Amino acid sequence: MDIEKQTSWGFLVALDMFLGGMGAGTFIIGFILCQLGIMKSLAVTSMLLGPVFVVIGMIFLLLEAGWSLKSYRLFIGLPKSWMSRGWLIQILYIILALACVLPSFWIPEWIDSGVGMVLGIIALILALAIGAYHGMILNEARAIPLWSSSIMPLLTFLTALCSGVGLLLSISPAYVGLYGSVEVVSSMSILGIAGIALIIGKLITMWSLINSRPSATYVASIRRIRAPIIADVICLILALLLLTLSLWIVREVHIMWIFPISGALLLAEGFIIRYFILRGGTYLPLKIFPVFL
């Protein structure tokens, strides 16, 4: 049995998925923080960074596919293709997210106004869809068992949220001068609780992915990426331990270093899992046998 690895999707596609997922997750987490009134400047900044990262990710995907005047064909397959649906969802998300956030830099009350809230809620729904969209794209590759796993959309969704939490944790020290160390530590500890829950959910999902063995081709894919998966799990566990530690000493200002390190670990594992799932795509090539008449 000659199992072959896919060579069509590589590093730039992984960057698109990573940045797009992180952009969606960042907006989701920022929107929730904004509604809770937690570090609103950080929340609004993260809501702005969300669509920016999605745009950058789409540029990398176009670089992979090649710039073309026929890019409009991406939208022809809307009824059947998640690739086409995803592009439309991302474009609408970018427009609505920016319309929700940008005016607030000149009109502070805009984001809490009726129009701003409606735009934000619609952008939030689209961001949630983007979180699962990359898994749905992979599901369309029925010939690659690892990609077509029913667990994949949930895994990409949790990865997007973990990356969003990771980005906010990473940039949180920059807001010490605005809010003070004690308030930042307290607020980030609340975000840390969300991170702990997401990490546990993702570890369970990855365990299910690894232990599912529907075919020999699937097992071959898991075997190919075993080492990166172990590295990914180590990053998740270290981030989990650091965030759990921060909850025990939540009032201590000197633990500020925990948050950017935890964030960096979540960002690193977000790219690792996406890139090596792409690299781990294997399939059985179709054999054409001659027919003699």
- 73 pLDDT higher than 60: no
Q: Tell whether 288 is covered by a domain.
A: no
Q: Tell whether 287 is covered by a domain.
A: no
Q: Tell whether 177 is covered by a domain.
A: yes
pLDDT at 69: 46
CA distance 161 to 270: 10
Q: Tell whether 291 is covered by a domain.
A: no
pLDDT at 180: 66
Strand 4-5, strand 282-283: pairing:
antiparallel
Q: Tell whether 292 is covered by a domain.
A: no
Whether the model pTM is above 0.75:
yes
- 116 pLDDT higher than 90: no
Q: If pLDDT is split at 50, 70 and 90, which confidence band does 137 have? A: confident
- 77 pLDDT higher than 80: no
Which tokens go with 215? 């075919």
Q: Tell whether 80 is covered by a domain.
A: yes
Q: Tell whether 290 is covered by a domain.
A: no
CA distance 234 to 238: 6
- The CATH number for 21's domain is 1.20.1630.10
pLDDT digits (tens, 9 = 90+) for 92-111: 999 999 999 998 888 878 88
Q: Tell whether 154 is covered by a domain.
A: yes
**Average pLDDT value for residue range 205-215:** 84
Which tokens go with 34? 């904004």
CA distance 96 to 184: 29
Q: Containing domain of residue 241, as a range?
A: 6-282
Q: Give the DSSP per-residue string, 83-124.
A: HHHHHHHHHHHHHHHHHHHGGGGTSTTGGGSHHHHHHHHHHH
pLDDT at 285: 65
Q: How many domains does the chain have?
A: 1
